[in-house]
Homo-oligomer: A and B are copies of this chain.
Amino acid sequence: MSSALQNDLYLRALMREPVERTPVWVMRQAGRYLPEYLAVRKQAGDFMTLCSTPELACEVTLQPIDRFNLDAAILFSDILTIPDAMGLGLHFVAGEGPKFSKPIKSRSDVDKLPNLDAGTDLRYVMDAVSLIRKELNGRVPLIGFSGSPWTLATYMVEGSGTKDFSKVKGMLYGDTEAMHALLNKNAIAVTNYLNAQVAAGAQALMIFDTWGGVLSPDSYREFSLHYMQQIVDGLTREADGRRVPVVLFTKNGGRWLSDMADTGCDGLGVDWTIDLADAKQAVKGRVALQGNLDPSVLYGSPERIRNEVKKVLDSYGTDPGHVFNLGHGIHQFVNPDNLGVMVEAVREYSTR
């Protein structure tokens, strides 16, 4: 498993070490904008089969690395594997996103949730991690990931995506103890899940807190950040004699970057609604930053894309500790060539 890493720019940047150029990868880089992804997805039949078949998950994980020479691979999986393994009945309805047939409605539903042993209950994920690591053969590091306890809870309680979060916030304000019990169970499961991914070969970890930004500042600290802190405290931080960096990403969490940096994580994902210069000011050199081009820029002309890439790089400046990325996942209808333009621009403008 431990073939020497040929390109460790990503890991070094997260450790805020000097690098020859800014590493770049892209959230949702293995996704529907790629025709080769769509072909494998069609072959799999449905999304969860794709996620749960290690050979197919491995194949799509490597596609964007092959096409764009990106500096990190990220495990192809779904953020809802944990509640699915807990028995909530994950399924996908075309055009509507994920659904749970047995959402959490009460404290007694929370108490009935099983404690997961991710190494066995989510064996297919660990098999995918091991296989991807083997197939990468040291080209670039492999990132493992999970949804945050709060983000998982939003889907578990709403039973689907939502616009107003009325059910999950109804529990938060109406039965606060049940919400804390759920978040604690999720935090334990996520810690176990991420540690199993490290044991299987993940070389860095990312926690996606997609919905932390819908909370008030007090509620964010109490219901989202607190449980990410619990996870960070419980993670394996070294593997193969090397630091396993942890990156937290709260979408629309730009105001809370300083609090997030206090968790002891190594890096923070940043969306495009805050300038990297301001984000850097907020974290004062404690962590690396990852981001933060608006994914919609990839609908622009090559000239416009290059110009916007340059603005992001200039906003961060030349200090160590920057990983280039979009501020959220790449959109389905983007022309892959435009991502190529972005990646080349990052290389060209950031080479020291």
Output the least CB separation between A72 and chain B (Å).
23
Residues of B within 8 A of A217 (CB): 273-275
Q: Which residues of B contact A273 (CB under 8 A)?
A: 213-217, 252, 255
A173-B304, A274-B217 are contacts. A331–B296 as well, Cβ < 8 Å? Answer: no
Q: Assuming A273-B216, A273-B217, is B255 touching A296 (CB within 8 A)?
A: no
Chain B neighbourhood of A214, CB < 8 A: 273
Answer whether residue A254 sits at the interface, using C-beta atoms and an 8 A cutoff: yes
C-alpha spacing A300/B175, complex, angstroms: 8
* Contact assessment for B255 and A274 in the assembled complex, using a CB-CB cutoff below 8 Å: yes
A-side interface size class: 35 or more
A164 contacts B331, C-beta separation under 8 Å:
yes
Residues A166 and B296 in contact in the complex (CB < 8 Å), given A252-B273, A255-B273, A274-B255: yes
- Whole-angstrom distance between the Cβ of A155 and the nearest chain B Cβ: 15
Judge whether A173 and B219 touch: CB under 8 Å: no
Measured CA separation A304–B275 after assembly (Å): 36
Q: How far is the CA of A274 from the CA of B216 in the complex (A)?
A: 7
Identical copies in the complex: 2
Evaluate whether A174 and B255 lie within 8 angstroms (CB atoms) in the complex, with A169-B294, A216-B272, A333-B166 already known. no
B residues less than 8 Å from A216 (CB atoms): 272-273, 275, 294
Whether the pair B255, A170 counts as a contact (CB closer than 8 A) is: no
A213 and B274 CA atoms in complex are apart in Å by: 10
Q: Is A101 at the interface (CB under 8 A from chain B)?
A: no
Residues of B within 8 A of A170 (CB): 296, 299
* Complex Cα spacing A255 to B176, Å: 29
A165 touching B274, Cβ below 8 Å: no
Minimum CB–CB distance from A157 to chain B (whole Å) comes to 12
Q: Report chain B residues within 8 Å CB of A218.
A: 275, 311
A residues 274-322 touching B (CB-CB < 8 Å): 274-275, 294-297, 299-301, 304, 308, 311
Task: Give the residue of B166, B169, B274, B299 whose beta carbon is less than 8 angstroms from that of A169.
Answer: B299
- Distance in angstroms between the alpha carbons of A174 and B164 in the assembled complex: 31
Alpha-carbon separation in the docked complex, A254 to B252 (Å):
11
A-B pairs with beta carbons under 8 Å apart, 22 shown: A164-B331, A166-B299, A166-B331, A166-B333, A170-B296, A170-B299, A172-B296, A173-B294, A173-B297, A173-B304, A174-B299, A174-B301, A213-B252, A213-B273, A215-B273, A216-B273, A216-B275, A216-B294, A217-B273, A217-B275, A218-B311, A252-B252
